[in-house]
Amino acid sequence: MSIFSEVGPIKYEGPDSTNDFAYKVYDKDRVVLGKKLGDWLRLTVAYWHSFAAGGGDMFGPGTWTRPWSGNVTQEMAAARADAAFDFFTRLGTPYFAFHDADVIADAATLPEHIDNLKKIEDIFAKKISETGVKLLWGTANLFSHPRYAAGAATNPNPEVFAYAAGQVRAILETTHRLGGENYVMWGGREGYDTLLNTDLKAELDHMGRFLNMVVEHKHKIGFKGPILIEPKPFEPTKHQYDHDVAAVYAFLQKHGLEKEVKVNIEVNHATLANLDFEHEVTAAYAFGIMGSLDINRGDPRSGWDTDQFPNNAQDLTPAWLEILNQGGLHTGGCNFDAKLRRQSVDINDLYIAHITGIDTLARAVLSAESVIKQKKLATLKAARYAGWETPFGKEIAGGKLTLADLADLAVKKGLNPKAVSGQQELYESIIAQNQKV
């Protein structure tokens, strides 16, 4: 009997439902600006927090007892896969994502790791074809094992770099064979704890070399999906090299990879970087590197990565306004870091976190749709930049005038522009007034 057998498939029951185990907003077939809500969101359950973690924190060990927790054997890994796919199916989410280490029996050597991964790949392939649940992305855990304490690609020891290459080749190929739509690199410990013992330039060069090797291999095996880097400013290291979207873009340009690699943006990593999530999203589209979303929230005061499910739609509305305007996430989706709290020992807490996170996202999309349909915000913004659409504005932007030409022109025209209101209050009111149920 399944651990989830008391919970039926989660259905859409509408805003008046009082059932904790039902969607109030997420009606996956509802059409939003010509596309189904489910197709905008491409919801993805994350294996690690939901099926591999035990509830521990820095002051104590795990508190969640699950039939599949403990030292992981091959049987347990298989039981974990049964439970995970059962959960995905009952929740009705179309995708999942995982790290190699989340899904396999503990391995002592690289060949054993690769062998264990192959066994699970076979189980996953069967489950994918039975359930229709698809793989959004796979990734390698290059940060938990003690060998990676000083990083993987940025490790001072090239043997660790080589071991990481062994892990990444295996999981990239598994991701490819399982039909994965993206491959993620979260630079877990690619950073430093103190600059005193760190050769920053060498580490960044090695990280660039590693990424180039991954991209070369992806082409060699014919993997079509993008490689995604997940920016994070710090934690567990004092400084992570993939600090934020702009830092990642500069790194990609330096290594000639800006057309090859995109970003997986996590809401709370933006918060930790002292940036708004919508800033990261907007910057990624502006640079042409939008990939996927790791959709969670932090705690505004704790200052670390709590990876909780999103519960505030208004916070997410500006980002969704941009995503809808840009035509969506393409190969990306929304993966949940719906990490339960240490006291959340009840298995049903997992459902509440996901259902509420999904409804929150749906609400943000519907609110953004309402803003777009109202047209007011777009009209105000177009009027704000209208000067650049005039022949004068186009001449400046077109790049033909020198600084001296323009300076002379400003005098000749007798320019004396006056300040106009930025109307921030009105823009903010449009977001607030368009919040849906």
The answer to whether the beta carbons of residues 333 and 292 sit under 8 Å apart is: yes
Q: How far is the CB of 159 from ligand XLS (least distance, A)?
A: 23
Q: Is 290 helix (H, G, I), strand (E, B) or coil?
A: strand
Name which of 174, 145, 256, 180 is nearest 211 in CA terms.
256
Q: Which of 102, 242, 294, 305 is catalytic?
A: 102
| 102 binds ligand XLS per the rule CB under 6 A | no
| CB of 101 or CB of 358, closer to ligand XLS | 101
- Rounded to the nearest angstrom, the gap between the alpha carbon of residue 189 and the centroid of all alpha carbons in its chain is 17
Q: Sketch the per residue contact string, 165 through 184, with ligand XLS: x for CB under 6 A, - otherwise.
A: --------------------
| 280 binds ligand XLS per the rule CB under 6 A | no
Q: Sketch the per residue contact string, 280 through 299, with Ni ion: x for CB under 5 A, - otherwise.
A: --------------x-----
Task: Judge whether 145 counts as a catalytic residue.
Answer: no
Which of ligand XLS, Ni ion, none sits in contact with 139, Cβ below 5 to 8 A by type? ligand XLS
The answer to whether the beta carbons of residues 231 and 263 sit under 8 Å apart is: yes
Q: Give the residue nearest to ligand XLS (CB).
A: 186
Q: Which contiguous run of DSSP H or E holds residue 291?
A: strand 290-295
Backbone angles phi, psi at 145, to 5 degrees: -65, 140
Binding to Ni ion in span 252-281, by CB under 5 A: 266
Task: Judge whether 99 counts as a catalytic residue.
Answer: yes
Q: How far is the CB of 99 from ligand XLS (least distance, A)?
A: 6
The answer to whether the beta carbons of residues 134 and 94 sit under 8 Å apart is: yes
| CB of 10 or CB of 188, closer to Ni ion | 188
Binding to ligand XLS in span 378-417, by CB under 6 A: none
Q: How far is the CB of 208 from ligand XLS (least distance, A)?
A: 20
In terms of Cβ atoms closer than 10 Å to its own Cβ (0-12, 13-18, 19+), residue 418 is exposed
How many residues sit in the footprint of ligand XLS (CB under 6 A)?
9
Q: How far apart, in whole angstroms, are the C-alpha atoms of residue 105 and residue 73?
A: 5
Q: Which of 100, 173, 230, 280 binds ligand XLS (CB under 6 A)?
A: 230
Q: How far is the CB of 375 from ligand XLS (least distance, A)?
A: 36
| 186 binds ligand XLS per the rule CB under 6 A | yes
The answer to whether the beta carbons of residues 192 and 238 sit under 8 Å apart is: yes
Q: How far is the CB of 164 from ligand XLS (least distance, A)?
A: 14
Q: Sketch the per residue contact string, 299 through 338, with Ni ion: x for CB under 5 A, - otherwise.
A: ------x---------------------------------
Q: How far is the CB of 42 from ligand XLS (least distance, A)?
A: 16
Q: How far apart, in whole angstroms, are the C-alpha atoms of residue 142 and residue 154?
A: 11
Q: Which of 294, 315, 322, 369 binds ligand XLS (CB under 6 A)?
A: 294
The answer to whether the beta carbons of residues 277 and 315 sit under 8 Å apart is: yes
The answer to whether the beta carbons of residues 317 and 435 sit under 8 Å apart is: yes
Binding to ligand XLS in span 250-269, by CB under 6 A: 266
CB neighbour burial string for 270-285, b if at least 16 within 10 angstroms, e if fewer: bbbbebebbbbbbbbe
Q: How far apart, in whole angstroms, are the C-alpha atoms of residue 56 and residue 130?
A: 33
CA-based max dimension of the chain: 83
Beta strands 227-229 and 182-185 are: parallel
Q: Which residues are catalytic?
A: 99, 102
In the complex, the residues that contact ligand XLS under the rule CB under 6 A are: 99, 139, 186, 230, 232, 266, 294, 305, 337
In the complex, the residues that contact Ni ion under the rule CB under 5 A are: 266, 294, 305
